[in-house]
Amino acid sequence: MNGTINSATANWNLDAIVSDLRKARQQWREPRGRLNRHPGGREFPSQESLREIIKSLSGAMFPMRLGPIDLREEVEDFYVGQTVGTALDALLHQVCLELRYRHRAEPLPAAEVERQAVEIVRQFGAKLPSVRQVLDLDVTAAYQGDPAARSVDEVLLCYPGVIAVLYHRLAHELYALGLPLLARMVAEIAHADTGIDIHPGATIGRSFFIDHGTGVVVGETAIIGDRVRLYQMVTLGAKRFPPGENGELKKGLPRHPILEDDVVVYAGATILGRITIGRGSTIGGNVWLTHDVPPDSNITQAGAVDVEVPNCGLGG
């Protein structure tokens, strides 16, 4: 035997596999209204396209750091204009796909989809300068908050927490413009690249810094104030998910923590439910917290006593 396998002699029973996969698809699609399933087709936004769009926009906002390595300052504006224009053109197609998906039950005329998409992308593009200004504060917060940082360039180029926040700022704008699917896809790109899971619906104030970052989870309805700092493995999650009349979980309820200004949360802390952590408080490592904390508190494992163990999904 020479080690070469002749696949022609194998019998994979492909007809049965194809038939059973067809049956599985049909079973999934039958009660599609109950679970908000897509009725079929492949008209979804593309994560690959979104990855390129976000990469291009990141380069356009920080051209001399995240742009092409051969870029020179004398052609910086040309590069920014060309890159933003190309990225927004590509984003327009993705927005059209989400709008068609959203209105799949009662499709809109193609002209109306295009009109809405153009207006949404125009508003998103107009937000880019203000997003850049907020990101400058985030980068500065990372540099000032980490004694190991040698420069703002280092934190922008190397820190996963900064990249995750950059992507979140863009995803949050998409979310605010009524594009939850695109926003969530951008958030999951950041999650895959950095290990940091921030729902695009989370509201995050200025000068935000995630140090180290691996394993951080921030839920959809979390509200984070200015100058907040989180460390690795921190969870801002939901305590419980109440069911609706049909037994499914209620969507959109405020269920994640509020962190007021100047809060620091150390590694491994888990903060659950719609509770408020008062301004200037410090939450120690590995604390499990499900109750409000007054301003200027210092909570440690010894002081955070909660006998109730909630039935929670954490991120939610």
% of the chain with per-residue pLDDT over 90: 77
Average pLDDT score over residue span 111-136: 97
In this prediction, residue 266 carries a pLDDT of: 97
Q: List, for residues 48-104, the tens digit of each pLDDT value.
A: 999 999 999 999 999 999 999 999 999 999 999 999 999 999 999 999 999 999 988
Distance linking the first and last C-alpha atoms of the chain: 55
Q: How confident is the model at residue 290 (pLDDT cuts 50, 70, 90)?
A: very high
Q: Evaluate if residue 309 carries a pLDDT over 60.
A: no
CA distance 153 to 255: 36
In this prediction, residue 254 carries a pLDDT of: 94
Tell me the chain's radius of gyration from C-alpha atoms: 23
Structural domains of the chain, ranges and CATH numbers in brackets: 41-193 (1.10.3130.10), 215-316 (2.160.10.10)
Q: How confident is the model at residue 11 (pLDDT cuts 50, 70, 90)?
A: confident
In this prediction, residue 159 carries a pLDDT of: 97
Selection from 11-15, 33-37, 259-263 with the highest mean pLDDT: 259-263
Nearest Cα neighbor of 278 from 240, 203, 228, 243 is: 228
The CA distances from residue 293 to 57, 84, 268, 296, 298, in Å, are 39, 44, 18, 9, 9
Query: The pTM is what?
Result: 0.86
In this prediction, residue 35 carries a pLDDT of: 56
In this prediction, residue 250 carries a pLDDT of: 76
Q: What is the mean pLDDT of the chain?
A: 90
Contact 277, 271 (CB under 8 A): yes
